[in-house]
A and B are shown apart, each in its own frame.
Chain A
Amino acid sequence: MDHALIEEDALLELYAQGRLDPEVEEELEAHLVGCATCQEELIAVRGLARGVRRVASEEAARLVVQAGIASRLRRTFSGPGRWGWIAAAALVVLGALAATYAARMASENRELRAIVAAQGPGEGAGDTEGTRTTPKAPQDFGERDRLAALEQTLPAAVGTVVLLTEVRGADDTPPAVDRATVGGPFALAVYVLDDPRFSSYRMEVVGEDGTIAWQRSGVTPNAFEALMATFAPEFFAAGEYELRIFGVPDEGGAEPLESYRFVVL
């Protein structure tokens, strides 16, 4: 198999995604095993693919966090007292500064916004049967209206999105969900790197005493590679909890992956 054919037909890209015909795949592998150049190329293909997915995931996370902030601001502005109005005025000023700054950055982040626009609104895994969303890219990446619509949709669907991250040390404080302030359903979200070993994931919320407060199998990452579950605020009693993620391969069983602590107030 010669390099011109491999390049022209993007065989390494297709091989990395498992999309080659078996005969071609066999032929390519016979060549790949002894070809240092193609090995380097394949490693690059895999790194690039992983990076594109992670960029999309990070930008999606940023959008979700911004959506949560927008939701919080709306609640802050509803019925404030005297000091509330002062704080609100300060927020307006700061918000304007942030918006100006964000607008300047927007031109530099066009490609990143395009990813988000290409995905459309993400589906919370807790609200679906867990089928993977197949995102369709818009024909026009300048579709600002579509992006604006997306930004409007997320906070409306869920009051607050709590993005859970690992708590690495005893001094780290786990994120808190204040039931008095979430003002409606809230979502727990974690990000998972696309792992070909697993066809789905299992989510479990475990209480302080080790009992399982909630669990769901067959969860798949949404278009932003996030696992999300939505809860009514009264679902949890006050206390500390742990969200555990397991990878579930086709063959069955489950491999524990990550665990995330959070506190419900």
Chain B
Amino acid sequence: MMAPTQEKKQIAPPTDDKRWKIVQATMRRHGHAPNSLIETLHTVQETFGFLEKQSLEYVSLALRVPLSRVYGVATFYHFFTLKPPGEHMCVVCMGTACYIRGAQKVLQDIEQTAGTKAGETSPNGRVSLLTARCLGSCGLAPNAVFDGEVVGRLTPIEAHKRVEEWMKK
């Protein structure tokens, strides 16, 4: 939005993966402006699941932002991840309302079932376990998201059942 007027020389993506076209579209929409860095990283993560080293290098060149700054931004914001996610994703809400209503217990049970800690992926690569600051569904606390489906009034038993199912398959 600020100033970049003439079209710059196109930097080629690191691989011939078709998905880079989606990333290029985002950058083009913002005129390859350096201030579209966060927007671009969002698209990369949405498309590829995480931010690989080569993605960061490509974004750095294409937007003409120093790699150090790209890395700084990618690691500053919790939403971005530099590690590939597991097949399934479980996000446990640790907001105040959920905490008061026993989210800690739910999380501990899931950690045990998946054999991993919050913020990591189970050793067999099946389940990634994350925590959220607040999902905003406090009325139905405690909440968790299982592969995009928000589940309210969650009990440790229900959570255990769902994660165990994932671990088996």
Partners in one complex: no
